[in-house]
Amino acid sequence: MRKYENQKENQLQEVYCNCCGKKLLTDKGMIMEGVFHGQVQWGFFSQKDGETHSFDLCEKCYDQLVAGFQIPPEKKMERELL
């Protein structure tokens, strides 16, 4: 969950893990630790047609989530991080 100081300018103030509630470290509007941001816009053929859901997970909660997957996420090493 993200909180913004100024909604119009998207100045990030705080980020919380939606799963465990941990406040993630931020500095000057930048997230300073690992976080997974998920967002989906539900469309036709779903029970949530027209809704957009978004959430943030700390690295620990992300690891717990994917540990329960029947098919693990694909992993790829990046040479350069942007």
Q: How confident is the model over 18-70, as pLDDT tens digits?
A: 999 999 999 988 899 999 999 999 998 899 899 999 999 999 999 999 999 99
Q: How many residues does the chain have?
A: 82
pLDDT of residue 9 exceeding 70: no
The H helix count followed by the E strand count for the chain is 1, 7
Tally of CA atoms within 13 A in the half-sphere of 51 that contains its CB: 7
Query: What stretch of H or E contains 63?
Result: helix 59-67
